[in-house]
Amino acid sequence: MGKRVFHGVALMMLFSWVCSVTASVTYDHKAIIVDGKRRILISGSIHYPRSTPQMWPDLIQKAKDGGLDVIQTYVFWNGHEPSPGKYYFEDRYDLVKFVKLVQQAGLYVHLRIGPFVCAEWNFGGFPVWLKYVPGIVFRTDNEPFKVAMQNFTTKIVNLMKEEKLFQSQGGPIIMSQIENEYGPVEYEIGAPGKAYSKWAAQMAVGLDTGVPWIMCKQEDAPDPVIDTCNGFYCEYYKPNDYNKPKMWTENWSGWYTEFGGAIPLRPVEDMAFSVARFIQNGGSFVNYYMYHGGTNFGRTSSGLFVTTSYDYDAPLDEYGLQNEPKWGHLRDLHKVIKQCEHALVSVDPKVTSLGHNIEAHVFSTFGACVAFLANYDTKSWARVTFGNGQYDLPPWSISILPDCKTVVFNTAKVGVNSWLKKMTPVYNTFAWQSYNEEPALSSQDDPIATFSLWEQVNVTRDSSDYLWYMTDVNIDANEGFIKNGKSPILTVMSAGHVLHVFINGQLSGTAYGRLENPKLTFNDSVNLRVGNNKISLLSVAVGLPNVGIHYETWNVGVLGPVTLKGLNEGTRDLSWQKWSYKVGLKGEALSLYSISGSNSVQWAQGSSVAKKQPLTWYKTTFSAPAGNDPLALDMNSMGKGEVWINGQSIGRHWPAYIAYDTCNACDYAGYYTDTKCRAYCGTPSQRWYHVPRSWLNSESNFLVVLEEWGGDPNGIALVKRT
Ligand SMILES: *[C@@H]1O[C@H](CO)[C@@H](O)[C@H](O)[C@H]1NC(C)=O
Ligand SMILES: *[C@@H]1O[C@H](CO)[C@@H](O)[C@H](O)[C@H]1NC(C)=O
Ligand SMILES: *[C@@H]1O[C@H](CO)[C@@H](O)[C@H](O)[C@H]1NC(C)=O
Ligand SMILES: CC(=O)N[C@H]1CO[C@H](CO)[C@@H](O)[C@@H]1O
């Protein structure tokens, strides 16, 4: 073994002498090899469209200061190709700029092209138009899909090549990823899945980037593609070939928040423990998913109720501030791992049991010796004898001894103080104006009408969250309920996600689903009058699904049945009568969120400003507060809708959705799951909405709020995060 290593070193020296200009990335059993050197690489996910280009340099610097070597990002197809063949790489989607900034900071990039990304991102990153390509079936051995996937993947690889961004060209990209967590899908669909993943791997390798490709959660990833692990823990993961390194591409630093859910938090003691445990078992690449989660601006968050905030309890918070003690404790861990790098990449660990639930992992090579002492017990401390010393280990913790003698770090002993973060109001006296939008009503000349209920995205193509389903109901003067006062019951079955029912222009009620079950049923008595009644159902999508088998076939909207109960005839089925459709709200069509658009309607002012009214648009202007503290809007007094600043959407608000979970005291010890440590039960899942500094002018910033179901704008405040 010693001899082989020596040989290898001599060969590598020769190699780097001969090819000192041509960089290279390869791998072996131990690690990724960059420029002839095996590396322990600490990586963190930062998704470029989830922050602004103005925030990128600071986020990347803080990642570097936190001990990261690599920034990992997905590539967001639907952001880059909004319509077929029309590409967009500007502003938050300026991928080249992002990669170059990482390079300038001296870090590497792991580019996860996918192009399926999941990521709690609208439609998993796929453009919605793709769903309507004839004959398409997503993520399987399907020709139209493969053509489109290859086209986009090639586009991105060529763009990176043109800019010389692969490490083989002197750039920062040391690895790419094709597909994403496909293993479970393949398992489920069998042969066509297997053919597809093989094709995807070959297609990717054929693009000749000069750097390795990985496939995560894909145990049969064909050579030379490396299969990698995603999860809260990955210590027992074994790649499918001895000559591939053990890599952890998604180590969940926390979890996302859903509207209606509480905030998941992951204790840093457990995070540090899971990383140390992975490294002591021979792992050489760890990625924090997320290192900075950021914000789902606009309508980019995925269906199934993912909040606008994608904070993820990551080491850097949504606003780009350190989340302490998480950031600092992990920085300290990275420092000691780096101190041990030489031994860690040189040999496999020798594992010895030091008692029940206690182990030593020792990496010993050429005079260097590194030890990890682990106590897996979730309750008790352990006193262990190792070498000539005695060591006390807290429950569920690992001590790292870079010289096999002195403990430099223990995962459960946090030497960093937490930061108390405050949201301090800056203004709460906006001069609001309001515009009340009339609910859409069916009419003879509606352009889209049919005798059935249509799936929502089929009609909207996701150009808006909103689709009106409109129909007429005739009530005879002889109906019994007119006399006995027992109003009929309207029942509407919808595939999701939110439904506002308007009867003759009045909001009659609202129903909504939740993450586990986006379907909803509206089932309530309605006020109908003799003669013609206008039923207008406003169906609202909260993003499109990002996960699941054949998830592209999942439906949104009112699919029926729609029935009216309590009439003389009994129950009237409205599902097959004439329905007309209207895509989007009137205010969207008029661009009320822009200054020019807003001038097209009359706004109420002063005491006549609407309060607690559905379908209301509010506007105001404000000056940017001095300083650099991050800003947010406190939307606590509002219901649900969307907010724009200077014409750009900061995302959907839904503070009226109160976290229904149970929150328990959180013990860091023991296996973490995303439901283990939830906080802020009984409060809005998301109260504060990030306002990027760079979107503001010094004065006259134009703020527009669309409120769907009623709120009081006088409660809205601009706050700074300190
Ligand atoms: C790939 O995209 C380009 C647009 O950039 C288009 O012209 C071409 O037809 C596409 N090729 C395939 C095979 O879809
Ligand atoms: C989708 O829309 C088309 C018309 O554009 C219609 O023929 C079809 O039935 C719709 N499909 C569904 C599932 O709603
Ligand atoms: C609607 O509510 C009534 C009671 O008001 C109940 O009997 C019925 O089962 C409900 N229907 C659905 C579909 O939930
Ligand atoms: C996206 C994904 O794979 N999520 C999984 C992460 O791990 C948890 C718990 O191990 C699973 O419940 C999720 O499905």
What CATH code is carried by the domain that includes residue 608? Answer: 2.60.120.260
How many structural domains comprise the chain? 4
- Torsion sign, CA atoms 716, 439, 499, 524: positive
Mean pLDDT by 10 residues, the chain (722 residues): 34 39 81 95 98 98 98 98 97 98 98 94 96 95 97 98 97 96 92 96 96 94 93 87 91 80 91 95 94 98 90 96 96 98 96 96 94 97 96 98 98 92 92 97 89 96 98 96 94 96 97 90 97 98 88 91 97 97 98 97 96 97 95 98 98 95 89 88 96 97 96 96 92
Which atom of ligand 3 is nearest the CA belonging to 491?
A: 13
Asked whether 418 lines ligand 2 (CB < 6 A), one says no
pLDDT of residue 375: 98
A 10 A CB-CB count for 623 gives 12
Length of the chain: 722
From 554, 584, 614, the end of a domain falls on 584
Q: From 496, 559, 550, 499, select the one nearest 524 (Cα to Cα).
A: 499
**Residue 118 C-alpha to ligand 4 middle, in angstroms?**
12
Domain span at residue 407 reads 346-415
pLDDT of residue 428: 87
- 555 and 635 belong to one structural domain: no
Residue 219 among the catalytic residues: no
Choose among 562, 574, 560: nearest CA to 475. Answer: 574
Residues 43, 163, single domain; the answer is yes
According to the model, what pLDDT value does residue 16 have? 38
Going from the Cα of 524 to the center of ligand 3, the distance in angstroms, rounded, reads 8
Look at residue 13 in the predicted model and tell me its pLDDT: 39
Does residue 6 form part of some domain? no
Which ligand 2 atom is the nearest neighbour of the CA of 555?
Answer: 13
Of 533, 554, 584, which residue constitutes the final position of a domain?
A: 584
Q: Tell whether 395 and 468 lie within a shared domain.
A: no
| Residue whose CA lies nearest to ligand 2 atom number 3 | 458
Closest Cα to atom 1 of ligand 2: 458
Residues 526, 379 share a domain: no
Q: Is 589 helix (H, G, I), strand (E, B) or coil?
A: helix
Residues 428 and 466 in one domain: no
With respect to residue 482, please indicate whether it lies within any of the assigned structural domains: yes
Q: Is residue 502 located within the same domain as residue 608? A: no
> Is the same domain home to 660 and 559?
no
520-525, strands of its sheet edge to edge: 520-525, 489-494, 558-567, 570-573
What does the alpha-carbon distance between residue 449 and residue 459 come to, in Å, rounded to a whole number? Answer: 11
d(Cα 554, Cα 456) in Å, to the nearest integer?
11
Same domain, 275 and 177: yes
- Closest residue by CA, ligand 4 atom 6: 231
Query: How far is residue 397 from each of residues 247, 269, 358, 667, measured CA to CA in Å?
Result: 21, 8, 10, 13
Amino acid 349: pLDDT: 96
Ligand 2: nearest atom to the Cα of 453: 14
> Of the residues 303, 329, 345, which one is the last residue of a structural domain?
345
Nearest bound ligand to the CA of residue 490: 3
**In this structure, are 332 and 201 located in the same domain?**
yes
Is residue 291 included in any domain, yes or no? yes
**Closest atom, ligand 1, to C-alpha of 148:** 14
- Tokens 């080249």, located at residue: 96
Pocket-forming residues, ligand 4, beta carbon under 6 Å: 181, 231-232, 673
The answer, yes or no, to whether any atom of ligand 2 lies below 6 A from the CB of 409, is no
d(CA 448, CA 679): 46
pTM summary value: 0.93
76 and 90 share one domain: yes
Which ligand minimizes its atom distance to the CA of 130? 1
| Catalytic annotation present for 588 | no
Q: Select from 609, 685, 279 the least CA-distant residue to 430.
A: 609
Report whether residue 491 contacts ligand 3, using a CB cutoff of 6 Å.
Answer: yes
Report whether 436 contacts 447 (CB < 8 A): no
Query: Catalytic one among 250, 258, 324, 588?
Result: 250
In a shared domain, residues 231 and 121 = yes
SS3 80: helix
| Nearest alpha-carbon partner for 358 in 394, 329, 388, 334 | 394
Q: Are residues 461 and 372 in the same domain?
A: no
**Minimal-distance CA residue to ligand 3 atom 1:** 523
